[in-house]
A and B are shown apart, each in its own frame.
Chain A
Amino acid sequence: MTTEILARAQFAFTVMFHYIYPPLSIGLGVALVIMEGLWLKTGNILFHNMARFWTKVFALTFAIGVATGIVMEFEFGTNWATYSRFVGDIFGSALAAEGIFAFFLESGFLAVLLFGWNKVGPKLHFFSTCMVCLGAHFSAVWIVVANSWMQTPAGYHLERMVDGQPVRLPPDHAVVPADLGSVRAVVDDFWAMVFNPSSVDRLTHVVLGAWMAGAFLVVSISAYFLLRGRHTVFAKASLKVGLAFATVATLLQMVSGDLTAGGVARNQPVKFAALEGLYETQPFAPLSLVGWVNPKTETTHALEIPGLLSLLTYHDPAKPVVGLKDLPSDAFLLRHHPEATPQELPAIRRNYWPIVPAVFQFYHLMVAVGCALFALVAVAMFFWWRGWLFRTDWLPTRLLLWGCVLSVLGPQIANQAGWFTAEMGRQPWIVYELLKTSQALSKAVTAEQIVISLLMFAAVYILLFILFVYLLTRKIQHGPDEEEGGHHELTDSWKAVLRTDDQEART
């Protein structure tokens, strides 16, 4: 295996594992704000117990998210030093901003969220919960901005160092291996870099995916309690909160998915064609539902709806969608391969495609899971409306609730598949149409070193995952502490709130 494949595998593995947890923290963070807000508003002790229970689950996901997150920041330098040298001027500032604006906020107020119940009053505690949630979102903002810049670079120019002096290069300069070390991307316009053409679409998509991860975790555990007939009062309220949140997130995600796909069509046509396995440029381009791509014959066999892709992309079924056989353009290829003859271009072009079958399948997996979750919340909302949601002795309700229990896996699968689609679809580029992944490696690092680190992370992360699942299961088995609140240990302001609550309960 080459160093490139190993370095990519190591990075992909550590990102994949890390990316289980931050979406949960972001989504659960919103759920905590809702629950604690409801408690402060209504004074109902049920919401208090809910916030306490979900805070414990939150703490577990957060701890592993933090522990594995620092790995990512190190890896840009350890595995991708040439990339870091090339884009440090731009990419580094987004990472530093993430540290200053997001992590400090998140981790600082996390202390109050977890350990502050006896130290601060309810309002300050609620404020801290909001800040942790906000910090988690800021973190998503900056990391997605940094990543979006790799997808659709903007607000920069290329510069070559000649005798210690920077010389500006033309915008269409094609980076060749000899440029590495002397050419780098330099920021022109910070806001154009931040709001690059794909930032907003992708950020919305990622955040909604995270909301779904948190919402369906609440839905899943609550449904499990109901089916087992345990903590039923708690579970009913928790399920309603989770379901309402999940419905909002899922509906918005449908819209966001469409907008994101449209953005990909505009900004990254090669990736877009690969998503649908579209080799030939064609009007009335079909949308595939399921299928497979044969990269040898360059054909896609799929259950498809004719014209829908053109319609969704351009709002005009007759408008042609450009296929892979015309992408990237001849002009682009000639710029990178000035010596190539027109006959050679089709063969060269294939080097600029991602692995089409993989991108196709990951994309369709993500869409399919999204649709399944949509169907689930639609049925669940219907049951809620008809008053059937808690009829746990009735088979349709039981089936629905089991669907809810399993639904926790949905957003996780979709988030991972979506991430793979986005990152694999960008290949062979690390920065789209600017720097190739194969050029971005650390020169000082050998394949053996990467193998050692890959094995180490595999062992550590598998162990962590087993422990995480075990401890989460234990927390679920234990359930919420019904009498939690430990009145005697609370500060006076909490006692005042709880007293009001008791009085209301009596009257």
Chain B
Amino acid sequence: MDLNLIWFILVGVLLTGYAVLDGFDLGVGTLQLFARKDEHRRLFLNAIGPVWDGNEVWLVTGGGALFAAFPEAYATVFSGFYLPFMALLCALIFRAVAIEFRSKEPWPWWRQMWDILFALGSTLSAFLIGVAMGNIVRGIPLDADHEFTGTLLGLLNPYALLMGVTVVLLFAMHGAIYLVMKTEGELHALVRGWVPTLIGLFLAAYILFNFYTLIALPHVYHTVQARPWILIIMAAAVLVILNIPREFSRGRDFNAFLSSCIGMALMMAAFGGTYFPNMVLSNPLPENSLTITNAASSPKTLGIMLVIACIGIPIVLTYTVCIYYIFRGKTKLTPQSY
């Protein structure tokens, strides 16, 4: 296995880590307004309180790894998606400070305002991440210097928008499953009632999206034809998601959450499988595409980065697991809570 492939996989793993982890707290944000009582909303925030910040670091590190390992891809995507990414930053800022600020004043209008900003920020973040991913699969127009030559409206095409909606539903479903695990009593029953609807909505969007992909994007169709194992992974993802209600019915809330995580990881793997070895597909003019070869850093940097990753990632995983362990169990409101 060459270094470029290793880094393609590692960047994929970091971004999958981001989707799985920040996915549930963005999803909790999307659901925030569906809880009506102040106490319930506080429980929502405190369920993600100790971990959301660490989850977002996966995005920062994934972005940093993309910059270091595939600088051309980083530069092309970030400058090409200028305004959507600026909107994403704005959304991430608002949801971050909303978590911190909401509890600082008791006034209903104050809390209502931060709840709305938290929900909007979270939902918009999920949506824009989906739009960006949709465009990556669909391909964006690049010139011979790998510079983006499209327009903002071109990025907001129906295909990418559908992907955006799918990601919002995915994260909302994932967030609800996390909340079932973290809540008890009345709220637990309430959130659990949401899950079948969310699973249904997500699966409908996911299947629609995949059919749309195979019909509208011949290049993906051909890739999937050449790599039938992608279909197996996608089917496995759907099966794993369908396993969630079964786990709930047996009272195994943690296993349900784990299923949701595995389902998301499988979907990301299928996603990566469809566009490998491209990093950024050029559409039209596929000859201008960025691949894991022409977008990469020097072998020296890829090697240094691998050493950094081999030292860093096991340490990070160790204390991440410890911290999730410390904050395991049902969320309870204490004087330190938001």
A104 contacts partner chain B, Cβ-Cβ < 8 Å: yes
> What residues on A are CB-neighbors of B80 within 8 Å?
444
> What residues on B are CB-neighbors of A78 within 8 Å?
78-79, 81-82, 85-86
> What residues on A are CB-neighbors of B65 within 8 Å?
96, 99
Chain A 86-129, CB within 8 Å of chain B: the 1/0 string? Answer: 01111111011111110111011111101111111000000000
> What residues on B are CB-neighbors of A63 within 8 Å?
96-97, 99-100
Distance in Å: Cβ of A491 to nearest Cβ of chain B: 11
B60, B67, B334, B335: the one within 8 Å of A92 (CB): B67
Distance in Å: Cβ of A469 to nearest Cβ of chain B: 13
A157 to B221, CA, bound (A): 43
A77/B74 in contact, CB under 8 A: yes
A467 to B51, CA, bound (A): 24
B97/A81 in contact, CB under 8 A: no
B323/A111 in contact, CB under 8 A: yes
Q: Give the segment of A64-72, A364-372, A396-404, A409-417 that binds chain B.
A: A64-72
B71 contacts partner chain A, Cβ-Cβ < 8 Å: yes
B300 contacts partner chain A, Cβ-Cβ < 8 Å: yes
A108/B320 in contact, CB under 8 A: yes
B86/A467 in contact, CB under 8 A: no
> What residues on B are CB-neighbors of A188 within 8 Å?
300
Distance in Å: Cβ of B131 to nearest Cβ of chain A: 15
A66/B50 in contact, CB under 8 A: no
B53/A110 in contact, CB under 8 A: yes
Contacts A81-B79, A116-B326, A445-B79; A92 near B53 (Cβ below 8 A):
no
B147/A456 in contact, CB under 8 A: no
A460 contacts partner chain B, Cβ-Cβ < 8 Å: yes
A67/B74 in contact, CB under 8 A: no
B75, B94, B297, B336: the one within 8 Å of A77 (CB): B75
Chain B 38-72, CB within 8 Å of chain A: the 1/0 string? Answer: 00000000000111011011011101110111011
> What residues on A are CB-neighbors of B320 within 8 Å?
104, 108
> What residues on A are CB-neighbors of B59 within 8 Å?
70
B316/A67 in contact, CB under 8 A: no
A46 contacts partner chain B, Cβ-Cβ < 8 Å: no
A456/B323 in contact, CB under 8 A: no
Contacts A89-B298, A166-B298; A96 near B336 (Cβ below 8 A):
no
A170 contacts partner chain B, Cβ-Cβ < 8 Å: no
> What residues on B are CB-neighbors of A71 within 8 Å?
89, 93
Q: Give the segment of B194-202, B276-284, B303-311 that binds chain A.
A: B303-311
Question: Restricting to A157-213, which residues have a CB under 8 Å from any CB of B?
Answer: 159, 164, 166, 181, 186-188, 190
A359 to B149, CA, bound (A): 38
B60, B74, B337: the one within 8 Å of A70 (CB): B60
Question: Restricting to B67-114, which residues have a CB under 8 Å from any CB of A?
Answer: 67-69, 71-72, 74-83, 85-86, 89-90, 92-94, 96-97, 99-101, 104
> What residues on B are CB-neighbors of A489 within 8 Å?
334-335
A443 to B54, CA, bound (A): 34
A186/B300 in contact, CB under 8 A: yes
> What residues on B are CB-neighbors of A57 within 8 Å?
none
A60/B74 in contact, CB under 8 A: no
Distance in Å: Cβ of A24 to nearest Cβ of chain B: 15
> What residues on B are CB-neighbors of A452 within 8 Å?
83, 86
> What residues on B are CB-neighbors of A85 within 8 Å?
71-72, 75
Contacts A97-B308, A107-B57, A181-B145; A92 near B64 (Cβ below 8 A):
yes
B79, B83, B305, B336: the one within 8 Å of A93 (CB): B305
A111/B327 in contact, CB under 8 A: yes
B294 contacts partner chain A, Cβ-Cβ < 8 Å: yes
A452 to B69, CA, bound (A): 30
B83, B85, B326: the one within 8 Å of A74 (CB): B85
Taking A79-B79, A452-B86 as given, write out 4 further A-B residue pairs in contact, using a Cβ cutoff of 8 Å, ordered by the A residue number. Answer: A89-B298, A101-B312, A104-B61, A445-B79
**CB pairs A–B below 8 angstroms (13 shown):** A77-B78, A79-B79, A87-B71, A89-B297, A93-B301, A95-B63, A99-B61, A100-B309, A107-B54, A108-B323, A111-B50, A442-B75, A460-B93
